[in-house]
Chain A
Amino acid sequence: MSLKRILVIAAELMLLLVMFLIIFGPMMSLFIWSIAIRWYWPATLPQEIGFDYWRQALGLQKSLAIGAVSILPAFFLSLTIAVIVVGLAMLIAIPAGYALAKYKIPFGSVIMFLFLMPNAFPQQPIFVNLLRIFTRIGLAGTIPGVILVHILVGMVFGVWITSATFRAIPTHLEEAARSVGASKTRAFFRITLPLAAPGILASAVFVFITSLDEFTGTFFIGLPFVNTLPMTLYSSSGYNMQFASVIAIILLIPSILFMTLIQRVLRAEYVGGMG
């Protein structure tokens, strides 16, 4: 092996290492924090490690430390809200996506743009104003109020992904179904929907993750009664880094799981090929 070749390989390894650190560094930091019992500057690693904070978070151990509560109620609340949000959001997004994809709707592109708007503006001004409105109609601090906020924020993923999915399904496939005797409805359920399933699933997963991780809107609308997992993370992050990192890791898990799922499902899509 020539010197040049050795240098090239060394450089590639360095690059790989740097990328690894950039991608996984923050997560490693989180993980180390979550098992640190005592960690004072200037030590590079914790002086004492253990799973105490994990046990406190999961409600297996009581503690007098500030902010160390069982996060299980908040976790289940977040999950419940997320599931309801997905159900309602997809109920709107699937027909809306189909209509926007297949029909010439007057001002269709304007409508699509409107779905994007909540995510295009700074969130605090939107939610401050929303809080005023919700207070007046009695939705502030309630779970339905939070659900509505999550739907609002997640709708962009709902409508845009579903309409792109439906647009990718050739209209000829539906027409072929009708030519053999299927009504419009039956053609939709037997042909279009099964073919759109991967895209709709991806859309639903995005809405789910968005709801699970949603903070700003929940903070304004949900406080003080609705306590989701991101809220718990916020409350403990100032002074109890270990606890906060435990919650952060727990929040990461569904995201990573679902992203892997989507990637696998969408890849199968391309291999399968569309007619």
Chain B
Amino acid sequence: MDIQGLSVEYRTGDVTARAVQDVSLELRKGETLGLVGESGSGKSTLGLALMGLIQPPGYITAGEITFDGVDLRRLGSDDLRNLRGTKIAMIFQDPMTSLNPVKKIGDHFIEYIQAHDAHASKQKARAIAETVLADLGIPASRVDDYPHQFSGGMRQRVMVGLALALNPSLIIADEPTTALDVIVEAQILKLLRDLKTKYSLSLLLITHNMGIVAEMADRVAVMYAGKIAEVAPTTEIFEDPKHPYTKALLDTIPNIQVEDKILNTIPGSPPSLTDPPPGCPFHPRCPYAFERCRAEVPESVVTGTDSEAACFLLEGVIARHSSK
């Protein structure tokens, strides 16, 4: 998938919040791309936008989303609907509220399968549901149970199952484990890894947890205040972060081996999305900020074979690299 210049706004009353601003990103086939950022960085909005799920008062105001050669923004609503689930699927954050409380689990699957294949019989759909659930470690007998009868971890597995039932090629997982405890989280992540290998999936993993990213992602994109701050392969992000925000973010992770007296934090708070400061969005909190940062918005610059970052400091870096 190729995203070019995507912008999403939320308009309520007289204020407009620019949740995603001019984001360009590439999702490569078969890779896991981790999308990190704090709450309010726009990462969830980006995920929803890719599936065309932005509803008023939210609007996509600019950009192209090209998937398998098709510009998703130009698709009619029916075509888009057909795409969802069959080519791109989404897993949501809170398994407690992501399933319809009055529908049996099996019915979720059957309805879903029949929505995309009018000829599928109920029995056939049910069989698929049972197979998928078995794949996930849920006994077939539970197909007739209701969501509230499952634990959080099992519900998330159901969500994963639903996402995979029609064999999509891309899965967008929006904070899939945030609402789960660490043990269950480990199980779900392992599940995702296994399924990804088994079915050759591409995965967009949206999270605020750097630990998950380290474990799962091939490449990492860092978002801040609706913009992409840095994109790089995972090892590079952790070993040699270029953007000041990425550096600060990594600094905040407590190191279990070192006895820190004080936890590191990033001073200040994220900027308002309705009234952003001019220039680079991170400059009020950036220890390296200088005059230019306050006035201009930095464009993404290439910083390595497969990485880029949006910071004025890096223009010197390029000069350094290119001189090597």
Answer yes or no: are A and B bound together in one complex: no
Q: Which residues of A contact B (CB under 8 A)?
A: none
Report which B residues bind A (CB closer than 8 A). Answer: none
